[in-house]
């Protein structure tokens, strides 16, 4: 369990708070809008209305005591940048800031952010990859070269074993597991038989996966 300071309770911040609550983390929510704070009180540990660009307000939160500080402010980049800088100046251990563009990201990283996230960019890429493919069920990018894909088993693989197909050598990809009754099984051996009913989890370069699975 981590102690997390979440600043900016718009749509993205609120959704993140809900997920963090499900994961069992303690969340302090901050926003300068009373309405946004009222909407999140049921799934955060604490919440305060305040201006995150005010050094005294942030200092009063004890930012150095949080494991992670996350800045999700979207519309006002100046406020996001000031908040990020102040958090680091006040001793925050680890700061993650939301960026709308590469330009914003560069400024945030130079002024205190340890990491930046691009919600719109990342979701746009996920949607483009996911829904432009016929047999892809899910997709997680590890870096710009490697991703994990949940895929239907190609018809030509059905009834064959992992050893018979020789996936790694022939296709330059790795099969990490198989979904059986909705649960992931990572017990994969040479004698594992592929079936049409059980999707698989694959690690590899998108172009290799695209070619192998005819996406």
Domain 122-213 has CATH 3.40.50.620: no
pLDDT value for 142: 76
Q: List the alpha helices (DSSP H) in the chain.
A: 11-22, 34-40, 55-61, 77-89, 102-110, 119-131, 162-165, 167-171, 206-213
Tell me the Ramachandran region of residue 30: left when phi exceeds 0, alpha when psi lies from -120 to 50, beta otherwise. beta
Within 13 A of 75's CA, how many CA atoms are on the CB side?
3
Residue 37 CA from chain centroid, whole number? 23
Residue pair 39/45 in contact (Cβ under 8 Å)? The answer is no
Strand, helix or coil at 20?
Answer: helix
Residue pair 190/162 in contact (Cβ under 8 Å)? The answer is yes
Residue pair 165/172 in contact (Cβ under 8 Å)? The answer is no
Superfamily for the 3-117 domain? NAD(P)-binding Rossmann-like Domain (3.40.50.720)
pLDDT value for 195: 93
Q: Which residues of the chain have pLDDT under 50?
A: none
Whole-angstrom distance, CA of residue 113 vs CA of residue 125? 23
Residue pLDDT, tens place only, 19-53:
999 989 999 999 999 999 999 999 999 999 999 99
Domain ranges of the chain: 3-117, 122-213
Residue pLDDT, tens place only, 50-71:
999 999 999 999 999 999 999 9
pLDDT value for 169: 86
Strand, helix or coil at 198?
Answer: coil
pLDDT value for 149: 87
Residue pair 43/18 in contact (Cβ under 8 Å)? The answer is yes
Exposed/middle/buried for residue 47 (C-beta within 10 Å: 0-12, 13-18, 19+): buried
Whole-angstrom distance, CA of residue 177 vs CA of residue 100? 35
Predicted TM-score (pTM) of this structure: 0.67
Tokens in use for 151? 């895929």
Cβ partners under 8 Å of residue 17, min gap 6: 6, 9, 27, 29, 40, 43, 44
């Amino acid at each position: 369990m981590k102690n997390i300071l979440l600043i900016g309770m718009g749509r993205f911040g609120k959704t993140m708070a809900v997920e963090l609550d499900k994961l069992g983390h303690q969340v302090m929510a901050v926003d300068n809008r009373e309405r946004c704070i009222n909407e999140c009180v049921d799934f955060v540990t604490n919440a305060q209305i305040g201006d995150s660009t005010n050094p005294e307000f942030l200092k009063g939160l004890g930012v150095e005591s949080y494991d992670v500080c996350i800045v999700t402010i979207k519309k006002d980049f100046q406020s996001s940048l000031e908040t990020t800088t102040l958090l680091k100046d006040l001793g925050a251990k680890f700061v993650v800031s939301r960026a709308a563009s590469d330009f914003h990201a560069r400024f945030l990283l130079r002024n205190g952010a340890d990491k930046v996230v691009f919600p719109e960019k990342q979701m746009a890429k996920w949607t483009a990859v996911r829904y432009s493919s016929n047999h892809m069920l899910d997709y997680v990018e590890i870096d710009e070269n490697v991703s994990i894909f949940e895929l239907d088993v190609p018809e030509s693989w059905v009834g064959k074993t992992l050893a018979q197909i020789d996936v790694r050598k022939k296709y330059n990809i790795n099969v990490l597991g198989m979904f059986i009754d909705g649960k992931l099984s990572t017990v994969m051996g040479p004698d594992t038989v592929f079936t049409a009913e059980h999707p698989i989890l694959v690690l590899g370069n998108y172009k290799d996966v695209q070619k192998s699975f005819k996406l």
